[in-house]
Amino acid sequence: MNEITFDKIKEIYLNIKALLEEKQKALIEKNLETLATCDEKLICAYNEIKIIHDRKNEFSLDENQKKELRELSEQIGKLQKNNEVLITHSLNVINKIFEGILNISSAKNADYNHLGKKNQDNTLDISSITEEA
């Protein structure tokens, strides 16, 4: 990135916003390929922003430009928070699914001893025939 201009900065911010919107859609649709692609592109865009931030002394923005970038930053922040909520919710759902699977498998495992042999049923059979004898 040679020359830093307002248009270049704005383009990067708009790209990040679009990527976060695409990521949100991918999270909702559970599309892992799109999610991975968005994350890769977001990393590149965030690296560009870091370069701009490191070179901020090389350019100046007027108040209107700063205001426009601030508004875009706020929109990006909201999208990022929404995505974090979606990711947290997805992780909670996955944890509940694993918990259910583990509960089912541990109940089945309790039927077998440490040698892998089925435990004998030690319940007493009390029927009318047994009582009479």
For the stretch 62-116, pLDDT in tens is 999 999 999 999 999 999 999 999 999 888 888 888 888 877 766 566 666 666 6
Rounded Cα gap, residues 80 and 49, in angstroms: 16
Phi and psi at 123, nearest 5°, equal -80, 145
pTM: 0.71
User: Tokens 């007493």 identify what position?
Assistant: 124
Rounded Cα gap, residues 123 and 110, in angstroms: 16
The pLDDT, as a whole number, for residue 126 is 55
For the stretch 51-62, pLDDT in tens is 998 988 888 889
Contact 52, 40 (CB under 8 A): no
The pLDDT, as a whole number, for residue 77 is 96
The CA-atom distances, in angstroms, between 79 and each of 1, 26, 73, 100 are 26, 13, 10, 32
